[in-house]
Structure 1
Amino acid sequence: MNETLLTVDGRPMLRIERRLGHPPEKVWRAVTEPAELSQWFPATVEMELELGAKVSFDMGDEGGPSVDGTIVELDRPRVFAFTWVDDLLRWELRPHDDGCLLVFTHTFDDRFGAASFASGWRQCLDALELLLAGQPIHHVRPSAELHDSLVTAFGLDEGTVEATPGGWRVRFERQVTQPAESVWKLLVSDGADALAVGGAVPGEFTVAGFRPGAVTAVERQTVLEYSWYFDGDDAPADTTGPSGAAGPSGVAGTVRWELTTGTGHGARLILSQTGPEDLVTERSRALAAWRSRIDELAAQLRGMAD
């Protein structure tokens, strides 16, 4: 795998290398001439090849509104870089054997979108190689399997732990490969109409070892939040059980599932679980349990791909 996720000046940067069996001058034309660039790049591009010149990107009917950028680096036929809104795209061509080495970098802000960016760019660079070889280009949607393999390779399947006043929060953020509607349908199954504050939590939203209480917030296809209970002799003394009385079975915190707008073709899943500092051992269990559950969900979503 030639994709690497780095952090440069506090921003995520995707780095991709490709060895191409074509001289730098030929690849340079494919990278900088709008008529050729627009055949493999994910937008129709218009520009004058001058440092500081404006670059216009037309994403087509399904890609959203047109946006602009600026050429910020130009060293013929070696380096070409421009901005795309707040992102920076840079191509560097290095002579290598009978062809050249293409070093592409994409600097952006949305770290959890990196797998979508990388899988998309792999498809684009495959198309670039077809163009250079004079072969027809067939644009296809990046596979869910490729996307999720990059999630793992970049460590984007790992959760984080945050300190909160009097406790902790475990948090996962993950780009998924299906839209929110499909994810929600999979999670709630046939119980969608019964979801309401105070009601029962569907099993798909839970993990073993953390007993769910009642739903505390719900927004269709967007949010499900519920309380969870700790069952054990070391339960915090100030927790309360379902009846409101303190005891060994008490409300320890909340679990929240949220589906937001994602990068690419799917939704962004944000899952968090809070707990009290008394139950610090449960924090590690929550990290492991939720990582496994989200991996399981991702596999189910891959199975739904066309």
Structure 2
Amino acid sequence: MNEMSTETLSVVLEREVSYPPEKIWRALTQPHLIEEWLMTNDFKPEKGHRFNLRADWGAVDCEVQAIEPHKILVYSWDTKDLKSTVTWTLTPTDSGTQIRMEQSGFRPDQQPYFRGAHAGWPRFLDAMERVLERLD
């Protein structure tokens, strides 16, 4: 084992939206809303809660690692071969909220997963924005 094999890659997205953190938090933590922008799920906003995200291409096994309402949500994101972590950070701004999403843990030999995440997360975030538009 050399040092190189422990280096992992991250996908990072940052986007400012004109909604308060409380509203975005609902989209991140309410199962019926998560389903609208991400996947079918059995999420609960509790540290240690294990949940699944399901899509037609398969399922993701997750566990809530850290949760700080309206600020931080961290969960593991494990598929058959990929062990990764998704971290959402919400930072209030003058005009709304800065959303930061980081998925970390891609090994250098997992380029297809890395590219897939690079392509997929912006679409998920677009879909989340459409959900936020409709929320009261």
TM superposition score normalised by structure 1: 0.38
More strand by share: 2
Question: SS in structure 1 opposite 2:23?
Answer: helix
Give the match for residue 63 of structure 1.
57
One of 29, 42, 50 as aligned partner of 1:46 = 42
Whether contact under 8 Å (1:15, 1:103) holds in the other structure is yes
Give the match for residue 128 of structure 1.
128
Q: Deviations over 1:146-166 (max 9, x none)?
A: xxxxxxxxxxxxxxxxxxxxx
Q: How does 1:84-233 map to 2 (within 5 A)?
A: 84-85=77-78, 86-107=83-104, 108-109=106-107, 110-134=110-134
* Unaligned stretches of 5+ residues in structure 1: 1-8, 136-306
Give the match for residue 78 of structure 1.
71
Percent identity among equivalent residues? 26
Structure 1 segments of 4 or more deviating over 4 A? none
Whether contact under 8 Å (1:12, 1:111) holds in the other structure is no
Question: SS in structure 1 opposite 2:42?
Answer: strand
Whether contact under 8 Å (1:78, 1:92) holds in the other structure is yes
Q: Report how far residue 111 of structure 1 moved.
A: 3.4
Highest CA radius of gyration, 1 or 2?
A: 1
Q: Report how far residue 112 of structure 1 moved.
A: 4.5
Q: Deviations over 1:245-279 (max 9, x none)?
A: xxxxxxxxxxxxxxxxxxxxxxxxxxxxxxxxxxx
Distance in structure 2 (CA, Å) of the matches to 1:130 and 1:57: 20
* Unaligned stretches of 5+ residues in structure 2: 1-5
Aligned AA (1:32) = T
Figure out how many residues of one structure are paired with residues of the other and give that number. Answer: 123
Higher relative contact order (CA 8 A, sep 6+): 2
